[in-house]
Structure 1
């Protein structure tokens, strides 16, 4: 769970989003590790992501002409530059994890006959079972709200059983749509790739 910087515009809601996600997961009996600000280095991320059932990144992503060079921005710590590239993501061992990329345009890339080459594909190749991505620039505040709803649906309550990833996203989008007055820019960019039937196992 990351709120990195590197001179980009601040993401004031990212840390609150990360804490809200962690609170929801802990309530379901899931151990969590928060990496905020300068703690969100590439090496710390790799260590935390290995073997995790959920990997959630609230950070900046930048789309570049070469999809293989479109990074997620983490915190730099020599010798790492803090730019997590698709080519580096393939080295992770995610073992069926749900990966959430709460970042702008994280679902874009280069269209090929074999699909879109970009961050989502890189995480799937690293072993993720399901990846939640955005198709355009997203509002920091609206993303925080939608992610809070998404995890609430994933975890469930005694009155409302936990949903799979696809149903949880649909429910979160309906809630965001109602709250935003049906402003598609706020609830519409999100999609899942991979197995939308992924469920949280406590």
Structure 2
């Protein structure tokens, strides 16, 4: 919806700040749970990254993205692996995953985040055993927002799993996203959150607007300290390499725009 235009050619993202409700039932349950939460999570956030270097589609900027996000909000970068991740995540104010994701149409709860070689954090595992206090969980990966409705209005998938586990909001993608565009968008999103203290949907809209207006020269300069030499060469050879909606409109906020986890 962010990429929809009005009769004057203006994007909807420029006219309002969007946030999505996964379903009526989940939204009500979520609001009631948030009201019951009197104290934010005691520890700062946690960023988890895996570059998928051994796969067909490596993410060379994933680790740099996680490091930058952690630095912006005073969090930590997870050293890797599944062991202890659930126990560590439970007391964090925010969680950020920069990695690949896979969706299974036949079994939506089998959708997973690939957080290491052969290490899969499934929607089923999060739904069954994770309990979170995080105000925000960001799934900075391809098509994390895909779900399947099976009965009533309850969607299954990674979004439902993290919301049901207690996350105040989940930032997800609706289609495959470019590594460079994602890294820059995420840095800007968290910078706005940290500096301006606005609601998450406002921060996302500002970050999306900034990214699509970013020049190729400015993008190359921003990426230079984050990646291997030559990374900037993969940018589209246009003045505004991320102006197209495919580069910025895929990320949406599901849940509460006003973060409750601190």
TM-score normalised by length of structure 2? 0.66
Within the candidate set 11, 25, 38, 2:73 is matched to: 25
Q: Offset at 1:127?
A: 0.4
SS of the residue corresponding to residue 88 of structure 1 reads helix
Structure 1 residue 69 and structure 2 residue 110: aligned? yes
Query: CA, structure 1 residues 199+169, in 2 after alignment: closer, same or farther (shift >3 Å)?
Result: farther
Question: 1:183 and 2:218 equivalent?
Answer: no
Mind listing any 5+ residue stretches in structure 2 that lack a counterpart? Answer: 1-46, 215-240
Q: Which moved more, 1:115-124 or 1:101-110?
A: 115-124
Q: Which has the higher contact order (CA 8 A, sep 6+)?
A: 2
Work out the CA distance in 2 between the residues paired with 1:48 and 1:96.
Answer: 12
Q: Which secondary structure state, in structure 2, belongs to the residue aligned with residue 166 of structure 1?
A: helix
**Equivalent in the alignment of 1:155:** 194
For residues 200 and 49 of structure 1, the distance between their equivalents in structure 2, rounded to whole angstroms, comes to 12
Is 1:198 equivalent to 2:259 in the alignment? yes
Q: Residue 181 and residue 105 in structure 1: after superposition, are their counterparts in 2 closer, same or farther (change >3 A)?
A: closer
Greater Rg by CA: 2
Aligned length: 185
User: What is the Cα-based RMSD across aligned positions, in Å?
Assistant: 1.8
**Consecutive unaligned residues in structure 1, runs of 5 or more:** 27-31
* Equivalences for residues 15-164 of structure 1 within 5 A: 15-26=63-74, 32-35=75-78, 39-65=79-105, 66-75=107-116, 82-90=119-127, 91-112=129-150, 113-156=152-195, 161-164=196-199
* CA drift at 1:24: 0.6
Q: Say whether the 8 Å CA contact 2:123–2:157 is kept in structure 1.
A: yes
Distance 1:184 1:174 in 2: 10
The one-character-per-residue Cα deviations of 1:123-180 (angstroms, maximum 9, x if unpaired) are: 0000001000000001011000000000011001xxxx32111110111111112124
Q: Partners of 1:137 and 1:105 in 2: how far apart?
A: 6
Structure-1 separation of matches of 2:242 and 2:173: 20
Secondary structure of the residue aligned to 1:84 is strand
